[in-house]
Amino acid sequence: EKQVYLFEEGNASMVKLLGGKGGNLAEMTALGLPIPPGFTITTDACKSYYKQGGRLTAELQSEIKGAIVALEKVKDCRFGDANQPLLVSVRSGSVTSMPGMMDTILNLGLNDETVAGLARQTASESFAYDCYCRLIAMYGQIVLGIPGFLFSRQLENLKLHSGRESDGEVSAGEWKQLTGAYKLLVKEHSGIDFPQDVDQQLNMAVKAVFRSWNNARAKVYRKLYSIPHDQGTAVNVQAMVFGNRGEDSGTGVLFTRNPSTGAKELYGEYLIHAQGEDVVAGIRTPRRLTELRENMPEVYDHLAALANGLEAHYRDMQDIEFTIENRTLYLLQTRSGKRTAQAAVKIAVDLYEDGMILKEEAVSRIDAGHLDQLLHRSISPLEELKPLAAGLPASPGGASGMIALDAETAEAWKRKGNQVMLVSTETSPEDIHGILAAEGVLTARGGMTSHAAVVARGMGKPCVCGCEELTIDADQRIIYLGENILKEGDILSIDGTSGRVYAGNVPLSDPEMTPELLKLLSLADEIRELKIYANADTPQDARISRELGAEGIGLCRTEHMFFSAARLPAVQSMILAESREERLSLLERILPMQQSDFEDMFMEMDGLPMTIRLLDPPLHEFLPNLEQLGEQLRRLQLAGGDSEEQKRLKRMIARIRSMQEKNPMLGLRGCRLGIQFPEIYDMQIEAVFRAAKLAVQRGIEVRPEIMIPLVGDPGELKELRMLVDKVASEVLGEAFKSITYGVGTMIEVPRAAVLAGRIAEHADFFSFGTNDLTQMTFGYSRDDAEGKFLNSYLDKNILSGNPFQILDQEGVGKLMEWAVARGREKKPFLQTGLCGEHGGDQSSIFFCQQTGLDYVSCSPYRVPYARVAAAQAVI
């Protein structure tokens, strides 16, 4: 199998084999653009290098040699020849662009003899020895692992001693002297001499680039962007052109549009008398491209024409690397340019409006992360910041605030007008006020569907969870982030889009619904087939959802209405009630509160469906903490305080103990609660229909859908459907009979999926609760798995993705397909949707489209994202 392709043998469609850079170099060669000749070693060769235990096979070595011979013919010079030496660059080029993650070596082919040849050929000794120094330094760093600063320090010292301001002023003699020093450095640090054999140089460089696929930063980058680890990198070997040949030479980078705003203008930087990485390395401050127009107008015009031509050819904004050698322009690379979210949307819409791309293409150009960034305050991606630690990117956006170690502190500081960052080991529903008060949340434990994550996403608050490097010393009121120690009250910033954590304040940019974004979303709406609903628990959530384009509420978790400070005591007493009578009277107090929420929500959702789920979580989630109660009691006893209060506390403790379960998530919750304590559901249903009646009286169109959670048997749904119908008819009476409503069920217990046909007999709709369905199908606790073992499963590739984040199509997905098919057999018009956290994930939305669901429901701030993903699912 062929492992080496000359540029003229490939094209852009061979990206998988040739990598992005290699494919595009081949494409540009075919277009007749000024590309220095070269060849690409395939990603397959990289894979086989790893399979061989880090060896280049004899076949590969001879193919490389053959390609070098072809290059020699074109360039009319010889690799290793003392008079007419061929010099090459060796660069990585992965399939998915990973800017700056892997290595590059320039000027390969220089040795003590060829350097003299180069000097004669170019009539410049200083140029030739500058190139040689660069080679030794890059080779030293990349092949031999010698720290780069050891080389640059020597150059800086030399310049200091001889009073040179820039590299350009360094004399030939000084470069020669530096060559010697660099060689010595190589010998000292690696024990070997810098190789004079150019074939050995090349083989070692190719191996080093292959190895760099697995360096630490590349691995981290791949993990962050879900790039497969087995993709491998290609290697591009290309004849050198020199930007360091004096004032008529240079090197630069050019974007065909502004990468931060998307504006249609050439945007770039260059350096005179410079090579390769000099521009991006940021050692010298580059000049703006406008200066090139003044200094070398003919080169600028040529460059502008090529850039526009490339953009038209690729029909996307390009990021182009170029080199000018003695006023002759060469292109070294083109790729679709990285851009901010704002630019991405503007460019896609502009290209569509200019007739360059179809609406389907415009929509498919937007990637998930872009919409996240646009709809949340975010840390500018162009900012170069060093993170202290990283966790799971649980809820997108950037935030900064004073570290507060508990919800009470967070609330108190917020009340004083501070911005706070809630930092805790984990969060429970009781901390909701702390999350509300905070700008963002950072937790040490818990995964993407942990409480903190779900709640933060719902509120549009940035959240990083499962940050393993975080430990909290609650006594000392300090936190450890890796080796860093921070005090409560210090400022901390998080980026919930990348999962990174930073010390101090970081600059944030505000979200914006630009005209371009609205246009893009409307294009998506024209394409998509799935309806997009929102998971909204409050009137405010409902309003935001609607503003962001939700076509209904797919999940209103009514228990979230119970958590507010004003209501929790009544809810707790109701749960702890020792008799039905007591409970009924407490429920009566709760009913108007719940009703008023529903009234407001119906108003907001006028004309759109609103899926209201009856109480679901295990009751202990509402109850006060036993340890705290015990502590309170002990203190009271020690102080000999109020005996009535002591009795009350004791009763409460005993009652809570009696209600405790070993496996609450598999215990008394969902419809089981509704069957055990029908009066609770009764109250909730009554509140819904009273609110519906009032809304209708105010001229609002209501479309209530009552949803029963955690059904595993048709009998459960049958029983509770009767309850809904009974209460509805009582509340609505004859006068409001025209209010139509639906009754449906969550499919979140595997047995419900299996028995879907029979369950459908009692259901108007199915909503897949994929959080619980994943939990119960895998048998993994959704609250613990991510912190305990899931990460090592992912590291060991036992699982290819986190199933709480990305729907497990093989397992959970099969249950869904089965349930949809059986349900529709029974009821052709059965509505089907998904309302777990997966509703906000692209690949899961794709699966929903494929499975023929009617809708997906996600958190309000995720709605625009889901609109775009649903459109992409059709394309």
Q: Tell me whether residue 671 is one of the annotated catalytic residues.
A: no
Contact window for ligand PEP (CB under 6 A) among 398-406, 429-437, 636-644, 767-775: 767-775
6-37 burial code (b ≥16 CB/10 A, e <16)? bbebbbbebbebbbbbbbbbbbbbeeebbbbb
Contact window for ligand PEP (CB under 6 A) among 18-26, 104-112, 269-277, 766-774: 766-774
Return the closest-CA partner of residue 689 out of 651, 732, 719. Answer: 732
Which of Mg ion, ligand PEP, none does residue 509 bind to, with CB < 5 to 8 Å depending on kind? none
Size of the site for ligand PEP (CB under 6 A): 10
How far the first Cα of the chain sits from its last, in Å, is: 34
Find the binding residues for ligand PEP in span 823-842 (CB under 6 A): 835-836
Which of ligand PEP, Mg ion, none does residue 103 bind to, with CB < 5 to 8 Å depending on kind? none
Let me know: does 494 contact 479? Beta carbons within 8 Å. no
Edge-to-edge strand order for the sheet containing 392-395?
389-390, 500-503, 491-495, 398-404, 420-424, 440-443, 463-465, 392-395
Let me know: does 694 contact 599? Beta carbons within 8 Å. yes
Let me know: does 780 contact 802? Beta carbons within 8 Å. no
Selected from 42, 251, 771, 832, the binder of ligand PEP by CB under 6 A is 771
The smaller minimum CB distance to ligand PEP, of residues 174 and 748, is found at 748
The smaller minimum CB distance to ligand PEP, of residues 495 and 772, is found at 772
Q: Tell me whether residue 376 is one of the annotated catalytic residues.
A: no
Which of Mg ion, ligand PEP, none does residue 770 bind to, with CB < 5 to 8 Å depending on kind? ligand PEP
User: Chain centroid to CA 709: how far?
Assistant: 30
Q: CB of residue 726 vs ligand PEP: minimum separation in angstroms?
A: 25
The smaller minimum CB distance to ligand PEP, of residues 319 and 808, is found at 808
Find the binding residues for ligand PEP in span 611-630 (CB under 6 A): 616
Say which DSSP state 786 is in: I
Q: CB of residue 444 vs Mg ion: minimum separation in angstroms?
A: 24
Strand ranges in 180-306 using DSSP code E only, listed in sequence order: 233-239, 250-255, 267-272, 287-288
Which of Mg ion, ligand PEP, none does residue 836 bind to, with CB < 5 to 8 Å depending on kind? ligand PEP
The smaller minimum CB distance to ligand PEP, of residues 431 and 772, is found at 772
Contact window for ligand PEP (CB under 6 A) among 337-345, 749-757, 765-773, 803-811: 765-773
Q: CB of residue 619 vs ligand PEP: minimum separation in angstroms?
A: 14
Sequence-ordered alpha helix ranges (H) in 743-840? 750-754, 756-760, 770-778, 785, 791-795, 812-826
**376, 451, 560, 838: which is the annotated catalytic residue?**
451
Selected from 93, 447, 618, 769, the binder of ligand PEP by CB under 6 A is 769
Residues 6+ apart with CB under 8 A from 281: none
Q: CB of residue 442 vs ligand PEP: minimum separation in angstroms?
A: 22
Tokens of 688: 């819904």
The smaller minimum CB distance to ligand PEP, of residues 553 and 555, is found at 555
Which of ligand PEP, Mg ion, none does residue 835 bind to, with CB < 5 to 8 Å depending on kind? ligand PEP
User: What are the residues binding Mg ion (CB under 5 A)?
Assistant: 748, 769, 772
Strand, helix or coil at 190? helix
Q: Which residue has the tokens 């009552």?
A: 706
Selected from 27, 537, 716, 772, the binder of ligand PEP by CB under 6 A is 772
Distance CA 345, CA 532 (A): 20
Query: Over 671-726, what HEC string results?
Result: HHHHHHCHHHHHHHHHHHHHHHHHHHHCCCCCEEEEEECCCCCHHHHHHHHHHHHH
The smaller minimum CB distance to ligand PEP, of residues 427 and 771, is found at 771
Let me know: does 4 contact 63? Beta carbons within 8 Å. yes
Distance CA 800, CA 228 (A): 10
The smaller minimum CB distance to Mg ion, of residues 251 and 449, is found at 449
Return the closest-CA partner of residue 146 out of 208, 59, 61. Answer: 208
Q: Does 862 bind ligand PEP (CB under 6 A)?
A: no
Find the binding residues for ligand PEP in span 555-594 (CB under 6 A): 555, 557
- Letters for 500-539 (x = contact with ligand PEP by CB under 6 A, - = none) are ----------------------------------------
Selected from 748, 783, 808, 854, the binder of ligand PEP by CB under 6 A is 748
**835, 838, 848, 858: which is the annotated catalytic residue?**
835
What's the full length of the chain, in residues? Answer: 875
Binding stretches for ligand PEP (CB under 6 A): 555, 557, 616, 748, 769-772, 835-836
Catalytically active residues, by annotation: 451, 835
